[in-house]
Structures are given as C-alpha cells and as structure tokens.
Amino acid sequence: MNRARLIVAATLVGASLVAVHAQTPAAPPMTSVLAGKKFTAPIKGPAEVELMKPETKKEKDMVVTKIKVRNASAAPIARLTVDESWYDKGGALVAGSKGVINGLLQPGEIQTITIETPWNAKMAANQWVFSHANGTVPKPKRVDKMPSPGDKEPAAKPAAAKKK
C-alpha cells in the first residue's frame, strides 16, 4: 500500500515540475559586458609617474601630505600607492603612513594622493616610496607644472628642405 502512495506522489510531483518548466520563458542570449568597449589592461612592472612638489601641513594631531600625481605611462596604473616614512634628526624611524588612489589612474590623468600621519614632535625629515598593484615606480619624476588636459605635446619639427 505504501508503494502505491509513493508512486502516485512521485507521479504528481514529476507532472507539476514538467508543467512549471513549460511555463518559464527562455533566457535571453548571453552578451559580453565589454562588447564594443575599448579596454586597456593595467601596466605590469615599472610605471612612470610625474609629481608636483608635495604640500605637507600639520592639521590638529595629524601631518597631512598632499601629492598631485600624473600617469606618464602608456597604460593605466592600478591602485597607485605612496608609503611615507618620517625620521628624527638622528635618522631613526618615527612614524609612517600610506596614501592610495583606488582604481585605475588612466594615462595622462591627474589626481591627488592624501597621506595622513599622526604627528610626533621628533619628526624632522620624510621619504616617499611609490608603488602600484602590479609593480613599482622606480623613479617618480618631479615637475614644476602639470599639463592641462587640453594641452598637446609639441609636434616634431619638419625636416629641413634640401638645398639645390
């Protein structure tokens, strides 16, 4: 008797699943999220960065350093990071902190990195170390002025005409 009830119940469940499956609409076709978009992979290895003179100020109990940076590489830089270390007059490490640009810094893009370090009366000198998610920034180049987005690089000089 139990087998008969089990067979009837299984038949009803199977029939209801077939009916539900027949009523669900077909899923739309899969399309690529990046279809038609240009994507440049972030740089791997050494990157080139330009920076202006950093501004360091004491604000309450913090020393705030703001560094304006520009990506001088041909590819985006992922998660640009600046590690700041503070030393006393004898050269011993006193404090340190880190500033980060989350996401990608596109080629030619300019952003400001802010580093906040707890103030210590022994602070005398500091040092910055630049890096990114896929490598290092071996020699950040200091510049006096950042180019505006509309500026174009100077065109190459035309070759001099040959004298006859």
Average pLDDT (141-147) is: 88
CATH superfamily, domain at 49-142? Immunoglobulins (2.60.40.10)
CA distance 40 to 74: 10
Dump pLDDT digits (tens) for 72-93.
999 999 999 999 999 999 999 9
Q: State how far the alpha carbon of 71 is from the alpha carbons of 42, 48, 78, 153, in Å.
A: 12, 7, 11, 15
For the cut 80, the answer to whether the pLDDT of residue 105 exceeds it is yes
pLDDT recorded at residue 94:
94
Vertex 10, ends 7 and 11: CA angle to 5°?
85
pLDDT recorded at residue 135:
94
For the cut 70, the answer to whether the pLDDT of residue 102 exceeds it is yes
Residues ≥6 apart with Cβ < 8 Å to 38: none
Percent of the chain past pLDDT 70, that is, above it, reads 84
Vertex 137, ends 136 and 143: CA angle to 5°?
170
Helix or strand or coil: residue 133? coil
pLDDT recorded at residue 155:
44
pLDDT recorded at residue 156:
45
Q: What is the DSSP letter of 159?
A: P
pLDDT recorded at residue 164:
47
Dump pLDDT digits (tens) for 6-61.
787 778 777 776 665 666 677 788 887 777 778 788 999 999 999 999 999 999 99
Phi, psi at 44, each rounded to 5° = -120, 130
Average pLDDT, the chain: 85
CA distance 35 to 20: 34
Which CB contacts under 8 angstroms, 24+ apart, belong to 90-98?
94/120, 94/122, 94/123, 95/120, 95/123
CB atoms within 10 A of CB 61: 8
Indicate the domain borders of the chain.
Answer: 49-142
Q: What is the pTM of this model?
A: 0.68
pLDDT tier for residue 146 given thresholds of 50, 70 and 90: confident
For the cut 50, the answer to whether the pLDDT of residue 157 exceeds it is no
Query: Residue 49: exposed, middle, or buried by beta-carbon count in 10 A (0-12, 13-18, 19+)?
Result: buried
